[in-house]
Chains A and B, each alone.
Chain A
């Protein structure tokens, strides 16, 4: 299984090497600590780009696989691999980390070395989560990544940082424990079937060929154990209240990574574990999850709209946007699923950029309260232009990245569930409301607080960060096939594993159509004639 290719191991553990080297530096040498961390993370990003070079478009399975026995007595393997789902999530991680490091350049003053070391450990954990194909290994990375995040919020955060950090860790731990139980149960089942293993692909194939027979009630319990862990992470309504606190109190780099990558681990987990392991349960639970996702889209948008704190507002938008992703996953449609994966990347970049801008404003004004802001476009035109750009990307303006993901999800959803698509689409109106209002309260109108009059505009370092993010946003908005083509094979394979609810070739044009179908449109209930006669 293991061809001699160590790329994933290198990418995963390079940041850890960076951490060790960093620890050798003197703690007072802030300049070199920053430079070195940035250097390491950029090298890491460049190395991760090699994944693109070797990645085969036609292969729907795992690539760059590495498979070694790790703890043989417990049947634990070191199994790494990427496919069309995790490929870009790894790239997203390695792309956002240098930005997070750059944005912390001047805003961290205490325990500088520890801060950057934490960021690198975090990066290792995140990349590991996306690479691991052994359940135990996955769980280890999953837990490893929590610890630096806890410290990032708890030590370098602001306001009620300890409360927020604790809330974050408790929520996630609750999910982790359930997941651990699920993992051990699966291990036990594989042992019963005569082949004890933690290896995900093996377990999936054992489930599919009937070696492991899973009674319905066990499947639903296992499914719940996993989905709860991931739903907390996403977060799906109503498990989301840790998020606004964690975001608001976290330092900028923490928020960027949290929103950009950590939340995606929830949706990634759903795709990687819930769907292939428990297809039946996924299908049965899909309506409930989708409804929660849609409630999340609308509810979080409305709550975001009335926030008085810029960063908290952006935090709530994550709940709303991730609702789209969850919806896209649970309609089991290739277009929606690729849209969901794409939207994960989009959200990482767009919301990441929004948090970056928030952080730059905070660096100058030390507040996120709208009442203290307003009229900033006068004093900081460049920064505010980038802010608006990030808002536009987030509100799904065509030719920017957000539109592609959202639209694909809607297209795919509409095929099977018109009503879901229609409800979800209201999110597009609301996102315009809360983002443009937020922009107005931050950047437009007259300056009311004297402190805002002479703020310095974006520095070259900040411009570099914002331009990088903007270029990626435009690129993803225009050249989406470069990404989605690499997801095609995997999505196809995954949907075959999960099974598709309805055939979608039979629903095309129906000139002589007959069979009427009930439609649940907001306008009124109309009879449609569209299903082709078999």
Chain B
């Protein structure tokens, strides 16, 4: 029971690593930096393992297990405790964060070895782990917000890690500000939740919400408002429409950062938050629908952009946005467990994809443009092999992790209590595109003839410290989904069963809301799986035909559909649009109207004008002090009259 009684240890470990590395690491040799930063993350993972062991010994009544450490804020009747909690959902999320985080730290030892600011990188990565764990373990909304903003900060720091590049500095700033726009909604949501429930503790909130009536689709109540506001935060953090624009730019950061923060952990915080708030969302069907629609739309939208990108990391970025859309879609149709399941498998295979892409970039000496790659299969076989596994997983090849999780989402969209045919079609179309753009990436990178100068680029396989995490993640990308395997012969879904206590009330509520809905037959599950696999295979075939069979064809297609291709290549010009209708005008108005006209011209001008006037009138008054007795007498008379008139007026 040691860790359960001292939950703070899990947070304190990476924080200690971060502080130590930040304060002392500057003058250390790299191995000491490794020892302190990677070491502390490994310790965090080990304490997580111990926590999980202890957790399984708890009785159902003891969950959620809460550790309350100190009061962080209190004033009036508002109070926030620094309280951590552990339940089934936390266990899953903690596992993903600590394990993937640890692997990526190890990988970074090899990847970042030659970069300036080595210690800074690791200090910031450790700090990120601290905030991410806070986010996941928080027992109240405000503490979650602490982790939420904290990971945003680390994301900012790490995106602009190469701060001398203007693009990196811009991208970091953009990420922070865009997510802050979402956090504006999150903040208001917290305020409203506090005054609605009287507390921001999960326990009190959920208990109160569970007793409230379910709100109508058209008659929004307070729960719908809260959920929509929280959703705004989730949309920003998880890069969904319309706030996704920061994530592709975030690829300016070092690749391990993209893998950890912008694929496996931080960007999934929005999904986690929606799942965590499932009691609230279940009572607000309109907000649920919004979650599902945003998720579905994003899944498809980002996948189309992914088709036309040439930067290997950008493809993966749009793929991440698209996959996060799937998770939102799952939560939106009430399949929270499926959403979290996809979150987990996605963490494995997307982290792997990024790390493998990093290995490719490493091998190519920094080249990220797939148009200048090709034929790398033989030269970097380990990277190729692991990346192929991840691609199969994300495309939904049978028995790979992504197959199970994506299938579950599509199944729930089609046949769950909140089933929605449109969303299912959107989801399955995105699955087709996913297979297509992922195999396009594989074919462009590893197949065909080399399209780079072989005399200048010396392609080399990465060191073992980088390959080991790849292999481990590749194994997980295969077996990570086997929790649900038994369902295919009518057995039990272990993953869903494990998470059930967290989502039980929402599931029960959904069943109550849709009395007509019945558990779909087992055969349907197999049929749906077959359809999904078939669709993914079509996607694969398209990519194969275009990039292996007829490599000249893509250019012709691009030319034939010039405007469409250009639209996709330029990401629908959304960045330009935001620039033209929001950022540009805001800056222009601030500079030319608010500052130069109102502040300097109007307000200050008035003040200086008054000063001028008073000086001039002072000069005028001076003339009255003429020294001439008669004029003084005249002034006395005028004054006396004025005073009399005043008093008469007053007395009247």
Partner of A398, one of B146, B191, B229: B146
A-contact bits for B208-242, CB 8 A (1 contact / 0 none): 10011000000111101100110000000000000
Nearest CB of B to A466, in Å: 14
Task: Provide the residues of chain A in CB contact with B170, threshold 8 Å.
Answer: 440
Q: Map CB proximity to B onto A421-446 as digits: 1 under 8 Å, 0 otherwise.
A: 11001101100110011001001111
- How distant is the Cα of A339 from the Cα of B78 in the complex, in angstroms? 11
The A395-417 residues at the B interface (CB cut-off 8 A) are: 397-399, 403-404, 407-408, 410-412, 414-415
CB contacts (< 8 Å) of B164 on chain A: these are 375, 378, 444-446
B interface residue count range (under 10 / 10 to 19 / 20 to 34 / 35 or more): 35 or more
Q: A408-B75, A410-B187, A484-B75 are in contact. Are A302 and B594 (CB under 8 A)?
A: yes
Residue numbers in A under 8 Å from B76 (CB-CB): 333-336, 338, 412, 491, 504
Binary contact track B156-186/A, C-beta < 8 Å → 1, others 0: 1000100111100110110011001101100
Please judge, given known A-B contacts A398-B149, A445-B169, A523-B225, whether A481 and B74 are in contact too, CB under 8 Å.
yes
**Shortest Cβ gap from A333 to chain B (Å):** 7
Interchain CA distance A238-B149 in the complex, whole Å: 32
Q: B633 within 8 Å of A by Cβ? A: no
Residues on the A chain within 8 Å of B591, using CB: 306
A377 to B149, CA, bound (A): 23
**How far, in angstroms, from A411 to B211 measured CA to CA in the complex?**
24
Interface check B587, CB cutoff 8 A? yes
Would A335 and B191 count as touching, CB distance under 8 A? no
Least CB distance from A445 to B in Å reads 5
Question: A167 vs B150: C-alpha distance in the bound complex, in angstroms?
Answer: 41
Interface-forming stretch among A10-18, A186-194, A284-292, A505-513? A505-513
- Cα A403 to Cα B180 in complex, Å, equals 14
Residues in B whose Cβ lies below 8 Å from that of A242: 607
Name which residue of chain A comes closest to B225, CB basis. Answer: A526
Asked if B611 is at the interface of the complex by the 8 Å CB criterion, the answer is yes
B180-A509 in contact (CB<8A): no
A interface residues, how many (CB within 8 angstroms): 75
Alpha-carbon distance between A397 and B147 when the two chains are bound, in angstroms: 10
CA distance A167 to B610 in the complex (A): 12
Q: A398-B146, A428-B183, A445-B164 are in contact. Are A302 and B586 (CB under 8 A)?
A: yes
Could you tell me if B221 and A527 are in contact, using CB atoms closer than 8 angstroms? Answer: yes
The answer to whether A436 touches B176, judged by C-beta atoms less than 8 angstroms apart, is yes
Cα(A491)–Cα(B181), bound, Å: 33
Nearest B residue (CB) for A239: B603
Q: How far is the CA of A206 from the CA of B164 in the complex (A)?
A: 65
Q: Is the Cβ of A425 less than 8 Å from the Cβ of B187? A: yes
When the two chains form their complex, are residues B166 and A446 in contact, meaning their CB atoms are under 8 A apart?
A: yes
Interface flag for B565 (CB, 8 Å): no
Tell me whether B584 is interfacial, beta carbon within 8 Å: no
Distance in angstroms between the alpha carbons of A102 and B593 in the assembled complex: 40
Cα of A26 to Cα of B490 in the assembled complex, Å: 95
Q: 11 A-B contacts, Cβ less than 8 Å apart?
A: A306-B595, A397-B150, A398-B142, A421-B188, A422-B188, A443-B163, A444-B163, A445-B163, A481-B74, A505-B77, A511-B208
Query: Which residues of A are in contact with B by a Cβ distance under 8 Å?
Result: 167, 170-171, 238, 240-242, 299, 302-303, 305-307, 333-336, 338-339, 342, 375, 377-378, 392, 397-399, 403-404, 407-408, 410-412, 414-415, 418, 421-422, 425-426, 428-429, 432-433, 436-437, 440, 443-446, 478, 480-481, 484-485, 487-488, 491, 504-505, 507-511, 519, 521, 523, 526-530
List 13 other contacts, CB 8 Å, given A170-B611, A437-B173, A504-B77. A241-B607, A242-B607, A302-B594, A397-B153, A404-B73, A414-B194, A436-B177, A480-B74, A481-B72, A481-B74, A484-B73, A505-B77, A511-B208
